[in-house]
Amino acid sequence: MLKTEPPYISSCPIGCRSDLVVSDIVLPEGPLRRCSVCGQLVLKIDETIYKNSMKVFDDPKGTCQSGIISRRLLKRTKKTLKTAKVLLGKDYHDIRLLDVGCSIGSFITIANNLGIHAEGVEPMPKPAMAAVKSGLKVHQGFLEDLPLPEQSFDIVTLIEVIEHLQDPVSLLQACHRVIRPGGLMIIRTGNTDSWTVQFMKDRWDYFCPAIGHISFFNTNSMRILADRTKFTIEKIRFHSVSFSRKEDVPVIQYRVAKLFSELLNFPSKLFGKSHEIEVFLRAKNI
């Protein structure tokens, strides 16, 4: 009889001491499991499958395959950094930023162009090397293992990273170590409380094990995570809502769904039901 590996995530990754119960969202890999306390959803796959899925990111072209920073990315990043600047009460040239999981450094490039002193951490060797070759300051490895000075950054960012983690608590603790007291942690990820998830279920873009997505957040689990890692939430921003993917439906149906989504964008942000969440956390003084 063949032995099977245990699940890569066997308990709530936020640290709740509670059972994981089967949810009504079923992927080809099996049903997602939900923490009965914080509502965090996790995928039941083994470590080998997970590590194989993460190999896609060890690419010198990074996550932006064209190598070109899109207008959408530029606009969103500038908006994020402007909000952080206001919350810190500092000018851009007085801010030091660390982007964790930076790939080839698109976020860092935009930050540097604004006058911020930005650098990054990237665990995958090929994109890290590509970033360094392009002139960016990028440290290859995992933040938890790198000897970066304590309390040396005003901002640490995790942009579409936290959904890949078995243990987000350890990473946020490492982030807290390098953030100056009163500094900011910025996290962007999917929102399982969204109308998108309620409508699309297993077809939601974030439920994608093929690119290492294994842990899925909501505002409640994010608040609990913040509290357990010595952060307070300063601001939560909600982004967009979607009810179909272009490749899945006829053109006319997609256009109708897109129009409906645009009509619901404002109320989805108002009620916290948007597709993504962007969380600004303040590091507590300890």
pLDDT in tens, 242-257: 776 666 667 676 676 6
**pLDDT at residue 251 in the model:** 67
Higher pLDDT, 276 or 242: 276
Mean pLDDT of the chain: 92
| Per-residue confidence (pLDDT) for residue 69, from 0 to 100 | 72
Give the residue-averaged pLDDT of 90-112. 97
The pLDDT, as a whole number, for residue 67 is: 52
Strands of 96-100's sheet in order across:
138-140, 117-122, 96-100, 153-159, 179-190, 276-283, 231-239
Helix pair 106-113, 71-88: axis angle to 10 deg: 60
80 or 242, higher pLDDT? 80
Share of the chain above pLDDT 90, in %: 78
Mutual angle of helices 219-228 and 168-178, in 10-degree steps: 50
Q: pTM for this structure?
A: 0.93
Q: Which has the closest alpha carbon to 25: 204, 160, 189, 215?
A: 204
And the tokens for 156? Answer: 């640490």
pLDDT higher than threshold 70 for residue 241 = yes
